[in-house]
Chain A
Amino acid sequence: MTITINNLVKKFGSVTAVDKVNLDIKDGEFVAFLGPSGCGKTTTLLMIAGIYKPSDGDIIFDDRKVNDLPPKDREIGMVFQSYALYPHMSVYQNLSYPLRLKKRPKEEMKREAQRIADLMGIGHLLNRKPGQLSGGQQQRVALGRALIKKPKLLLFDEPLSNLDARLRISMRSEIKRLQRELGITSIYVTHDQIEALTMADRIAVIKNGVLQAFTDPESLHDRPKTLFIAEFIGNPPMNLFVAEIKSENGKLYAIIGDVKIEIPDVRRPKKVVNGNVRMGIRPQDILIDEKEGFDTEILFVEPMGRDDLIVCKVGDMQIHFLVDPTTNLKAGNKIKLKFNMQKCQYFDMETDLSLLWN
């Protein structure tokens, strides 16, 4: 099922939770809503589910406007962060409840519940009450309950955020695999960017109810259109600092403090106003280069497991980057750094828009 959202607005009194959001989701696509807490992700999802009525704008499933369609007629399944299982019903009753509401025969309910439970790996738990299950098992039941009526759209509201880190990773790939196998259009709300980047075909980044970007994970990471996206996506976050752009002999240079770096032609910022830009570079695009690099001093080293995060002083700014822990660098060491200028980002100082991708 395709989903089209036109100028969707939701107001709670004087608060605008969702502000003129436009999205078009393709059939079978896995879309993530990513944004900080309180940005309106859940509100948008609940409008798509039919729980909230939009204040303005349209929601269209395939070619049908569904603004006034009650949730039960929308052919959707939803998984909640709180699992939202019915505590007074057994796992079997929870799973088969959507079919019971559709007045399906008993045998079909039994067969389908068993099939879904086996698919989710909870076939042996059918007689338990939700209170007697672990969090992971409860979330599987919730997922099964959403899947059993063969919905045309699956909605997830931070389904994994109550699980421990390891379980989260395995459930992530499990949900992704299920979604791909069943080919159900899915919307997945999360504030965990790794979840969004690894699972989604496209990511809608939302800030204060306004859609910031709607694109695939790669372009979101490598070609951020706004400063907000550049700051928000990527871990550890992108280094951002003010740089002066100067043209000399037909070549373009970025000047950061007393460091001067040439900007390659393929990565020239468009329309630089007053010579200054906000320049960004990801920690993984900064290298130690004892020949061509510029001088810096290490302020401190923060071990992060697979890498060490090094904080250096450049001019009056701090630059973060990653090195292999075996290099054994210590605070106070003097090193030479080189930016991979093929990966640099530039943003307008006033509008915060990218000078590369707009």
Chain B
Amino acid sequence: MKPKTVFSKIVPYLLLIIITLPIIVGYSWIIISTFSTKTHGLMPVDRAGNFGGLTLSNWNFIFEPEIWLVTFNTTILAIGLTLGVVVVSMMAGYALSRIKFPGRKAFLSMTLILHAFPTVTLLIAIYFVLKWISGIPILGRGLPIIGGFGYNTLGGVILVSMALQLPLGIWLMKGFFDNVSWDMERASLIDGCSRFRTWREIMIPQIKPGIAALSIFSFIQGWGSFIIPYSFMVNANKATVATYLNNLLSETAPTNYSMVAAVGLFQLLPVLVFYIFTQKYLLSIFAGGVKGSS
């Protein structure tokens, strides 16, 4: 018996290690190369090709004001996108899950079709829409921080990203609301809640894992988004971390891959932090007060 159990314990690990090896090597390379002048495989080397050449110079970019501008922008974009998507999805998902209204089915299938559209095909049309929004006083380009909702503003990028992310969010939230027992909602209505209060105080707490999941998806989407800020913000160098990174690749010749890796790692950190803070909800299994019907 014993050798078999040890064997059956080792095999899955072995398999997992083999499968994840390329990813582990990739990340290791990124981390090592950010602190090296050059690398040979995973080995840091100096210009002459000898072992060594460790340096912090790749991280010099964090002393430039530009990186902090794009970091700030990206943060605003990610947070704005997350808030917008989560709030709208929570409301729309609830309505689609619980309330009967004409066009409900059509709306659901429409959002799914919209989600299937590749972003690139929409870029030109969106450009005209944003240009038009720019013409609206104040809302267009006169707001603090996000600049407005028009062309070449952070708000415009948030607006477009939200629109593209919402179908997923709404469907996800609808699915989570579908699984909350009707009886609980009915009980709260009888206890004296208005429909809105039921939504806020009774329903939302039941779908916290879903909200956490959607927040992470949206945050990561916003943090890493490239095509939309690249298309609708004029100065890529001053838009988001992703466009900044792209600029680095295309404008400096020859490309300093160690520096690109450093910026990439820099971009990765907030996502990791965000994940650590929300994984508790993601992984939580609810100890519910509802037995029997679910």
Contacts and interface: CB of A to CB of B under 8 A. Distances in A.
Interface of A: 46, 49-51, 70-72, 74, 76-78, 80-88, 94, 97-98, 101-102, 129-132, 135, 138, 142, 145, 149, 161-162
Contacts of B289: 83-87, 94, 129-131, 138
A101 B187 contact: no
B293 interface: yes
Given A82-B292, A86-B184, A132 B190 contact: no
B192 interface: yes
A317 B184 CA distance: 50
Contact of A76 (B181, B183, B190): B190
A112 B289 CA distance: 22
A84 B206 contact: no
A80 B186 contact: yes
Given A87-B289, A87-B290, A130-B289, A46 B186 contact: yes
Interface in B273-291: 286-291
A326 to B, nearest CB: 41
Contact of B181 (A46, A49, A51, A84): A84
Interface centre among B181, B205, B292, B294 (most CB of A within 10 A): B292
B188 interface: yes
A214 B278 CA distance: 56
A138 B291 contact: yes
B64 interface: no
11 contacts: A46-B186, A81-B293, A83-B183, A83-B291, A84-B289, A86-B289, A87-B206, A87-B287, A98-B191, A101-B191, A135-B291
A129 B287 contact: yes
Contacts of A132: 287
Indicate the size class of the contact surface on chain B: 20 to 34
Contact of B206 (A88, A101, A130, A131): A88
B291 A82 contact: yes
Interface centre among B183, B188, B191 (most CB of A within 10 A): B191
Contact of B290 (A51, A72, A83, A102): A83
Interface string B250-294: 000000000000000000000000000000000000111111111
B197 interface: yes
B189 interface: yes
A324 B202 CA distance: 55
